[in-house]
Structure formats: structure tokens, C-alpha cells
Chains A and B, each alone.
Chain A
Amino acid sequence: MRKNTTSSIISQLILLVFVVVWIIPTFGLFISSFRDKDLLANSGWWTSLTTSQINEIFRTENKDSQYQENGNYIIKGNFFDNIKGKKISSFGITSKNINQFLVGEKAILKNGSEITVFENGDYIWKSQDSFKHKNGKRIFITALSPPKFTIENYKEVLFKEGVGQAFLNTLTVAIPSTIIPLIICSFFAYALSWMRFFGRDTLLAIIIASLVVPLQMSLIPLLSIYNDIGAFFNIGAKSYPGVWMAHTGFGLASTTFLLRNFIKSLPHEMIEAARVDGATHYDIFIKIILPLSVPAFASIFILQFLWVWNDLLVGLVFLDQLPSEIILTAKLRELLGSRGENWEILTTSAFVSMTVPLLIFFLLQRYFIRGLVAGSVKG
């Protein structure tokens, strides 16, 4: 019995290690997408629940805001502009020594003026003579910042960075690119299973061969066909219908194969009985096969939808990289290039692109797994 308990504990520990390693990257991204961007740039996401120490640079107001009091010239203000909760612990006036002074101490500048910074971000800058600074004085501060979460990042990427538009574009690509292959492949699969015609077995062999043909084999010739069509009709070569058809083509073999396996497994007595009663193949398909195939359709729909949603290559090659056509994955890749250091934008955009797949994943996991397992039987 003891042996069993120890081995069970070891099993649990090993599994726990896997789970932790697997969840940390996604979890970090998720937390980061809700963090304030200054905090995100200065501290790790694992510190997000603790008060963190950050170093920042601010500028005081310039000479325009000075006023006279008791013979002194004074500039007053607050660095934090109403952001509450941050506490300054020390400050400095040169980049070499950024925490030279504690809060409340007087720092004396070269020109004899003195500046004091307080815990809440207030500062007073006093001078005997009037200020002549066109730009304010740079002040380096070290502050303690409490945990802070915000949805600002989401507002920013959805409406300013064009990720919201890309989200709609992706939907426009994904929905027809999933439904069209489902329709045409279900007829195809039915014909391959229950209709007799010349060359059926060869056709099936071609489908099985096509299952593994890399889509790279199709890209160059297809792109030139698209360009020719575009030039012939004098329209852009890249369009939504074009990308729907491309996805239909690339998903055709696997969708047909999965559906054919399913339709073939339905009891043939049922179909023969209907035939004897004089039903046409179209009637049989609509009235018998379709209702029975709903679970199989659900699985295949999810597989194809996720494949299209997550695709990058087809979207890059067959769509314009303009705001009106760019898809989420392509947008994300563009942001990785142009906003490589703005983690608040990258993490949030990545999370936006993951919302739909994750939603499908958590709500329809059963169908998703069923489809994957069915597809793997032959691979």
C-alpha cells in the first residue's frame, strides 16, 4: 500500500511540473495584458500583485508657470497628474545619481535654486532669480507603485492599433472558409461513399495522397493564377472570395476524408431501403445523411475554423496587408516588427487573437478532441 502511495505522489508531482510549465507562458501573457504599461515595462508580471519599485524620469513645468512669492520665484506641480497610489521614496537631479536625495530633502542645483520632491509627487522649485528654462528640469525618481490593473491596453489595441478591425477581417475570412468546404465536401464524401461512378477508387486515392501535400506546393502557381484573374478583370488579385477558395482548396482533402469515413460508417441498410422506396440520392443526402452527420459536422467545423483562424501563411499570400483586409495573425506579426518593445500592445493583441479559439476550446472541447482523434486514425 505504501508503495502505491509513494508512486502516486511521484506521479502527481511529475504531472504538476508539466502543468505548471505549460500554463506559465499563457498565464503571464494574460496577466500582462491587464497591467499598466509603465509597470509592465519595468517589472515582471509575477510581481504584479506586489508593490513594485520603479524608476521614472519626469520634467518639471517650464518658466511660463513660475510665480513670485516672498521674493522668491517658484514653480510648483505634481508629477503624477492625479494618478493615486504611487509613492516616491527618493529622487535625483542627474542621471548618474538617480536616488541622491530622500523625499522632502532640498536638492541644490548649480544655479543656486533648490528643488524638493514630496512622497505624493508634488514638487517645489525655488529660486532667488526668475527662471529662464524653456524646458522643465529633468528629475529622476524612484517610486513605489501599488498593483494596478487596467483595460486601457484593450481599448488602445482594439480601436487605435487596428486590431479590432483585424478581428472582424479574420471573422470575414474564417466563417465562409469553414462553411463552404463543409458543404461541398459533404456532397463529395457522400458520392465517394454511396454512389457508383467510374474512377471512384482512384479519386479516393488522390484524396488520401492530397492529405499530406504541403500547401507550399500550391502557393506559387495559385498566386500567378490569382494575378492573371485580377489583371484580366482589372481588379485587385487579393480579395476575400479568393482567400475563401484558397482555404477551401487546402482544407478539402482532410474535410472530405473525415466526412467520408463518417458517412461510410452509417448503416447501409437504411440508405438501400430509401433507394428502393424511390428516393433520389439528393433526397437521401438531405433527409437522412445530413441529420445523422451533425456531430461529425460539428467536429470538422471546429477543426477547420480553428485552422483558418490561426492561419498566417494563406492570409499573408492571398490578402492585402492593408487595414481593410489584414487578418489577426498577420497583424500580430506586423506588431511584433513595429512595436517589438511595447509589450502592453503585443500581449493584449495576442490575447485578443486568442479569445475566439479559447472560447471554442473551453465550450466545445469534446467535439474538438473527437475531430482530432478521428483525423488521426489514419493521419
Chain B
Amino acid sequence: MTIFSFIAYIVLGVTACISYYHISNYLLDFFTKKVFKKNYNDSAIRAFIFIAPAFIVLLVFILYPVFETVRLSFFDKFGREFVGLDNYIWAINDPQFRRGIINNLGWLLIVPTLSTFFGLIIANLADRIWWGAIAKSIIFMPMAISFVGAGVIWKFVYDYRGPGDEQIGFLNAVVVFFGFEPQAWITIPVWNNLFLMVIMIWIQTGLAMVIFSAALRGVPKEMLEAARIDGASELKIFTSIIVPYLEQTILVIWTIITILVLKIFDIILAMTNGQWQTEVMANLMFDWMFRGGGDSGRGSVFAIVIMIGVVPIMAWNIYKHKQEQKI
């Protein structure tokens, strides 16, 4: 595609969007003021104009598909014949599915915990050190990189050459330097999952850190000073004052990273494509969407398993929102 058609594409898409609002509102003004000579400002029509595009998108891209996916999970691979719970029963008996569930649970346990933990420590340290801002910038940087890009970065770190050859992967070079055998890290079952999780932790720690950093500013200074005068150690201050104060924030960060980890896909696809027992739900789903011409029934089962993971978080969010509305 040439630069010209690229620009044309963009201008076309954006113009179409803006002109919808402008023209429809102009027409509404024209008819209410000029033709009917009255000013109905609160007209339901205007609300409709404002809401319609977003609502249609919401309907087509989120609401309808959610119900459709639930329906498809009870149908055969073409979505035509009702098969009851067959797809679910198949899934439970499928070793890959079970492997995926175990791996996803591992990810859910380890990644949010370590990212939050590291984020909290770094935010706490960096705020008291003169070069803290630079350190935070560096730790935060992986947040800007794509998961696939991060995959390439870490695949290079994990690169493996035979024991006699010179290692070009950093990790193996370190291992060899200390006199151990080099390892093909991402092909050692079970442990390789940890090496993939490292990538996600590397990315998400930055997120946890900036949010903690913002929240730390809210910790009352007087309290910290009083504790210091009383001779409390920094570690004591951290565990007895800062952590309890940030409880809410910790919970929020935990949920954000949990949701991300439930959907983890790019890293697995790029690094192993589920080989060597690193399979996860989202990758299995992608696989079944296209394997053998695509199986919408089985594919939907994986999506629903992921969905079940987020339902408690969703319920909690709505509950909290309702509480706030009451106030």
C-alpha cells in the first residue's frame, strides 16, 4: 500500500465519524429551531444521537458476542447442532486442556503476586533516592513494549547453544561463567513456565510501581516521621504503616494484573506456541479457532473458562460502583 492510500484510509475513517455527529446534530437543530420553532433542548433524540454509535458498537462487539459464545459452546463445531455438554466433557478429558488450566492457575498465582511485590518495593525505595526517577523510568519502560517484542527480547536472553559453543544468550553465558552446564531454558517442561512468567513480571512490575508511587504520596508524612522518631526501622515502617495503608491499592493492582494474566496469549504464542507443556487457555482457544477449519464449539469453551475467571472481579466492580452511587 502506498503512503497516499494510507493517508486516504485514515482521513476517510475519521471524517466519516466526525461528520455523523456534526450533520445529525445540525439537522436536529435545524428541525427543532427553524421548522418547529421551538427549543427542545432535552430532547430524547439528541441523547439518542450521542449514544447510538457507541451503543451499537457495544452491542455488536461485546454484548451480542458474549451471549453467542455461551450458545456456541453447547453446539457442534459449525454452531449448527445442539450437543449439550459434549464440548465441556471433551475439554475435561483433554490433557492439553488440563495442562492449560494448571498453567493458567500457576500464572495467576505467581505473576500478580511477584509483580505487585516488586512494584511495591521499588516504588518505596525509589521515592527516597535521588536517582529514583531515572530508576522508575527504566523499570516502567517494558510497559510500552508489546508482548511479542518482549518475547523476542527474552528469547534472546534465553538463547541456547551446545555446551562446547560460545553462548550468545545472556542467561546461559552467566550460567557457564559460574561453571554450570548451559540449559535450553524454554524447553524444560514445568520450569519453562516460570521462565515465561518472568517476561510478564518484567512488564507488569512497572505498572504496579507507578500506581503505588502515586498512592504512596497519600501516606501521611507525620505518621512516618513520628514512627522514625520513635526509632522504628525502615522495614518496620514498611510492614506496619505503608502496607496496611496501601491495602486498597494492592487489591486494585492485583485485580488488574490478574485480568491480564487470565488472557495471557502473545507471550506463549511467540515463545513456545504451547509446546513443552506451556499451553494456556487463550492459546488453546486461538488454536481451536483455526485448527481443522475451526471448531467454534470447543473454541468457545476456552473463552468461557477465561470468562468464568473474571466474573467475580466483575461482580465486585459493579457492587463497588453501586455503593458509590448511593453516596
Contacts and interface: CB of A to CB of B under 8 A. Distances in A.
B138 A19 contact: yes
A205 B318 contact: yes
B116 interface: no
Interface string A218-262: 111111110000000000000011001110111011001000000
B146 A312 contact: yes
A246 B47 CA distance: 24
B210 interface: yes
B317 A32 contact: no
Contacts of A109: none
Interface residues of B, number: 116
A191 B154 contact: no
A343 B156 contact: yes
Nearest to A18: B122
A108 interface: no
Nearest to A168: B6
B98 interface: no
Interface in A351-378: 353-354, 357-358, 360-361, 365, 368-369, 372-373, 376-378
B51 interface: yes
Contact of B310 (A44, A214, A241): A214
Given A25-B170, A32-B156, A353-B146, A216 B60 contact: no
B226 interface: no
B219 interface: no
Interface stretch (A75-83, A99-107, A131-139, A193-201): A193-201
Contact of B303 (A18, A220, A252): A220
A176 B118 contact: no
Interface in B45-104: 46-51, 53-55, 57-58, 60-66, 68-69, 72, 79
Contact of B141 (A313, A353, A361): A361
Contact of A365 (B1, B3, B137): B137
A357 B42 contact: no
A215 interface: yes
Contacts of A336: 148, 151-152, 155, 270
A211 interface: yes
Contacts of B197: none
B167 A241 contact: no
A312 B126 CA distance: 33
Contacts of A361: 140-141, 143-144
Nearest to B282: A216
A176 B9 contact: yes
Nearest to B169: A44
Contacts of A208: 317-318, 321
A29 B153 contact: yes
Contact of A19 (B135, B146, B321): B135
Nearest to B66: A217
Given A350-B149, A358-B144, A379-B256, A11 B129 contact: yes
A97 interface: no
Contacts of A188: 50-51, 53-55
Contacts of A368: 144
Contacts of A379: 252, 255-256, 317
Nearest to B296: A220
A167 B312 CA distance: 39
A221 B167 contact: no
A23 B138 CA distance: 7
A249 B282 contact: no
B145 A168 contact: no
Contacts of B129: 8, 11-12, 15
Interface stretch (B13-21, B107-115, B239-247): B13-21
Given A215-B263, A282-B25, A372-B210, A329 B61 contact: no
B132 to A, nearest CB: 7
A interface, over-half SS: helix
B50 A25 contact: no
B289 interface: yes
Given A25-B154, A44-B166, A209-B317, A244 B148 contact: no
A99 B81 CA distance: 70
A280 B41 contact: yes
Q: Which one of B13, B207, B286 has the greatest number of beta carbons of chain A within 10 Å?
A: B13
A89 interface: no
Given A219-B303, A220-B289, A376-B253, A249 B60 contact: yes
A306 B69 CA distance: 28
B67 to A, nearest CB: 9
Nearest to A376: B211
A212 B35 CA distance: 46
Contacts of A316: 286
B46 A280 contact: yes
B64 to A, nearest CB: 7
B144 A24 contact: no
Nearest to B235: A7
Contacts of B187: none
A223 B51 CA distance: 25
A182 to B, nearest CB: 10
Contacts of A378: 252, 317, 320-321
Contacts of B53: 184, 187-188
B50 A190 contact: yes
Contact of A197 (B28, B47, B72): B47
A310 B296 contact: no
A195 B40 CA distance: 13
18 contacts: A22-B141, A25-B170, A172-B10, A176-B9, A179-B17, A196-B47, A197-B44, A213-B314, A214-B303, A214-B307, A220-B289, A244-B13, A249-B62, A282-B25, A346-B155, A357-B144, A361-B144, A378-B320
Given A14-B125, A209-B314, A333-B270, 12 more contacts: A28-B170, A176-B13, A187-B54, A195-B46, A197-B47, A211-B314, A219-B285, A220-B299, A224-B296, A280-B29, A329-B148, A376-B211
Interface of B: 1, 3, 6, 9-10, 13-14, 17-18, 21, 25, 28-29, 39, 41-42, 44, 46-51, 53-55, 57-58, 60-66, 68-69, 72, 79, 118, 121-122, 125-126, 128-129, 132, 135, 137-149, 151-157, 159, 166-170, 173, 202, 205, 207, 210-211, 214, 233-234, 252-253, 255-256, 259, 262-263, 265-266, 269-270, 281-282, 285-286, 289, 296, 299-300, 302-304, 306-307, 310, 313-314, 317-318, 320-322, 325
